[in-house]
Chain A
Amino acid sequence: MIEAGITLLRLLLGLGALFFLGYAWLTLLIPRPRDFSGLERAAFSFGAGVLVLTLWMLALTLGGVPFGLEWILGPPLALAAALLLAPRGRRAVREDWRACQVRPRIAFNGWDWLFLGLLGIVFLYALPRAALYPIWAWDAVATWGCKARIFYASRGLDLTCIDAHNYYPNLIPLLLSYLYFALGQVNDSLAKVIFPLWGALLLGLLYSLAARLGLSRRSALGLTAFLALNGAVFIVHLYIAYADLPLAFFTLGGAGLIYLWLAGAAPRGSLTLSACCLAGMAWCKYEGPPLAATLILAAALTLAWLRPARWVRRLGQLSVPLAGLVAGYLPWRLFAMQQKIEIGADHIQGFYPHQMVQAIYYLLAGLAEPYYFGFLWPALALALILAGNRLWRSPRLFLALFVGGNLLAIILAYAVAPTGAAEFPAYVRATLDRLLLHLTPVAALLLALGLKDVDSALANRNLPGNHPLPVSKAEP
Chain B
Amino acid sequence: MTPAKTWRLWLVGLILGLWGLQVLWLIWYFGPEARDLARRAARGNVGAAIRQAEPLYRWATALQAVIPEHATYVFLDDYAAGKEIEVRYYLAPRRHILLSPEIPASFLFYALHQEHAAFLLIREAQKPPGPGVQAAMHSPAFHRVNLPGPGLIFRVDADLLRWGFYD
Distance of A391 from chain B, by nearest CB (Å) = 16
Give Cα distance in the complex from A118 to B16, angstroms. 14
Give Cα distance in the complex from A133 to B53, angstroms. 13
Cβ contacts under 8 Å, B25 to chain A: 370
Give Cα distance in the complex from A142 to B79, angstroms. 11
Interface band, chain A: 35 or more
Cβ contacts under 8 Å, A142 to chain B: 85, 88-89
Distance of A244 from chain B, by nearest CB (Å) = 18
Given known A-B contacts A129-B37, A138-B85, A457-B1, A146 and B92 have beta carbons under 8 A apart: yes
In the complex, are the beta carbons of B9 and A457 less than 8 A apart? yes
* Contact flags B76-94 to A (C-beta < 8 A → 1, else 0): 0000001001101100111
Q: B26-34, B140-148, B155-163: which lies at the A interface?
A: B26-34
Cβ contacts under 8 Å, B62 to chain A: none
Cβ contacts under 8 Å, B125 to chain A: none
**Identity of the chain B residue whose Cβ is nearest the Cβ of A236 in the assembled complex:** B30
In the complex, are the beta carbons of A454 and B12 less than 8 A apart? yes
Please report which residues of chain A, range 315-350, place their CB below 8 angstroms from some CB of chain B when the two chains form the complex.
none
Given known A-B contacts A154-B93, A375-B15, A457 and B50 have beta carbons under 8 A apart: no
Please report which residues of chain B, range 35-88, place their CB below 8 angstroms from some CB of chain A when the two chains form the complex.
37, 40-41, 46-48, 50-51, 69, 72, 82, 85-86, 88
CB of A305 within 8 Å of the partner chain: no
- Chain A interface main SS type: helix
Cβ contacts under 8 Å, B92 to chain A: 146, 149-150, 153, 161-162
In the complex, are the beta carbons of A454 and B46 less than 8 A apart? no
Given known A-B contacts A134-B51, A146-B88, A125 and B22 have beta carbons under 8 A apart: no
- Where the two chains meet, the residues of B that have a C-beta atom closer than 8 Å to any C-beta of A are 1, 5, 8-9, 11-12, 15, 18-19, 22-23, 25-26, 29-30, 33-34, 37, 40-41, 46-48, 50-51, 69, 72, 82, 85-86, 88-89, 92-96
Can you add 12 more A-B contacts, CB < 8 Å, to A153-B93, A375-B18? Answer: A125-B34, A125-B37, A128-B41, A132-B41, A132-B47, A142-B88, A146-B92, A161-B72, A162-B88, A187-B47, A375-B15, A382-B15
